[in-house]
Chain A
Amino acid sequence: MIPEFGQLALIVAFCLALLQGVLPLWGAARGDARLMAVARPAAHGQFVFTALAIGCLGYAFLAHDFSVIYVASNSNSALPWEYRMSAVWGSHEGSLLLWAFLLSLWTVAVTVFSRSLPQLLLSRALGVLGLVSAGFLSFLLFTSNPFLRLLPPAPDGRDLNPLLQDPGMIFHPPLLYMGYVGFSVAFAFALAALLGGRLDAAWARWSRPWTLAAWVFLTLGIALGSFWAYYELGWGGWWFWDPVENASFMPWLTGTALVHSLAVTEKRGGFKNWTLLLAITTFSLSLLGTFLVRSGVLTSVHAFATDPRRGLFILVLLALVVGGSLLVYSVRAPRMEAGGRFGLLSRESMLLANNVALAVVAGSVLLGTLYPLAMDVLGLGKLSVGAPYFDTVFLPLMAPVVFLMAVAPFVRWKGDGAGRVARQLVWAAILGAVAAAAILALVANAGWRSALGAFLAVWIVAAAIRHLAQRVRAGAPGAGLATRLRRLPLAYWGMWLAHLGVAVFIIGVTGTRSLESQSDVRLAPGETATLGEHAFRLAELRQVQGPNYSATRARVEVSREGKPVAVLEPEKRMYHVQRMPMTEADIDYGFMRHVYVALGEPVDDRSWILRLYVKPLVGWIWGGCLLMALGGLAGAADRRYRLRPAAAPRAASTGSAAPPASPAGAAARV
Chain B
Amino acid sequence: MKSRHKRLVLVGGGLVAVIAAVALVLSAFRQNLVFFFTPTQVVAKEAPTGRSFRIGGLVETGSVQRDAGGVTVRFVVTDTAHEIPVVFSGPLPDLFREGKGVVADGKLDTEGVFRASQVLAKHDENYMPPEAQHAVDQAQKAAQTVKP
Contacts and interface: CB of A to CB of B under 8 A. Distances in A.
- A contacts B: CB pair < 8 Å: yes
Interface of A: 161, 234-235, 299-301, 304, 341, 343-344, 349, 352-353, 356-357, 360, 364, 367-368, 371, 381-386, 388-389, 392-393, 396-397, 520-522, 578-583, 598, 600-601, 603, 607, 609, 611
B34 A396 contact: no
Given A304-B123, A382-B131, A520-B71, A600 B6 contact: no
Contact of B91 (A235, A341, A388): A235
Nearest to B91: A600
A384 B131 CA distance: 11
Interface stretch (B21-29, B74-82, B108-116, B140-148): B21-29
Contact of B32 (A357, A389, A580): A389
A392 B9 contact: no
A384 B125 contact: no
Contacts of B25: 360, 364, 367, 393, 397
Contacts of B29: 367-368, 371, 385, 389, 393
A396 B25 CA distance: 10
B129 interface: yes
Contacts of A383: 33-36, 54
Interface in B59-92: 66, 69-71, 89-92
B43 interface: no
B34 A386 contact: yes
Interface of B is mostly: mixed
B129 A609 contact: no
5 contacts: A356-B17, A360-B25, A383-B33, A386-B105, A393-B24
A659 to B, nearest CB: 20
A598 B125 CA distance: 22
B35 A520 contact: no
Contact of B131 (A299, A579, A580, A611): A299
Given A367-B29, A522-B71, A341 B129 contact: no
A397 B28 CA distance: 12
A370 to B, nearest CB: 12
Contacts of A381: 35-36
> Lowest 5 CB-CB distances: which A-B pairs, in order?
A600-B91, A389-B32, A522-B70, A392-B28, A382-B36
A583 B33 contact: no
A385 B54 CA distance: 11
Contacts of B122: 299-301
Interface string B9-47: 110001001100110110011011111100000000000
Given A341-B3, A521-B71, A579 B125 contact: yes
B35 A382 contact: yes
B70 A607 contact: yes
Contacts of A397: 21, 24-25
B40 to A, nearest CB: 14
A234, A389, A582: residue with the most chain B Cβ atoms closer than 10 Å = A389
Contacts of B131: 299, 382
B44 to A, nearest CB: 15
A598 B91 contact: yes
Nearest to B105: A386
Interface in B84-130: 89-92, 94-95, 105, 122-125, 127, 129-130
A344 B105 contact: no
